[in-house]
Amino acid sequence: MMNNAMNEFDRARGKMAGDFMAMIADSEDLLKATATVSGEGFTAARAKFEKKLKDAKTSLADASKPVIDGTREATAIASEYVHSNPWTVAGAAIAIGLLVGFLAARR
């Protein structure tokens, strides 16, 4: 489950990186258009830039959705386990705290 979510995140991250590169290229075109082209060229470049920005925002939202969903699922599972086994979790937390304290004292 988590592996599938990570694969989906990696795929979306690659697409998002491509969208951001295209957005940067389009912003450079926009800057060039403002310096050398009449109002019509500026308007076309601006519209193209706005579309790429909207696409990039959508890609970012799509890329974060599987991670957020996976995190919510993991949190629900952890919460259920903690509520089912409070003494086991408390014992594990104490053991980890003692281990960290012992290792920190050795330094």
Q: Phi, psi (5° rounding) for residue 76?
A: -65, -40
pTM: 0.43
What Cα–Cα distance (Å) separates residue 31 from each residue in 4, 37, 52, 57? Answer: 41, 10, 15, 21
* Amino acid type, 13: R
The predicted-structure confidence for 28-73, as pLDDT tens digits, reads as follows 776 666 666 666 766 777 677 777 777 777 777 777 777 778 888 8
Residue spans of alpha helices (H) in the chain: 2-36, 39-84, 86-106
Position 64 scores a pLDDT of 73
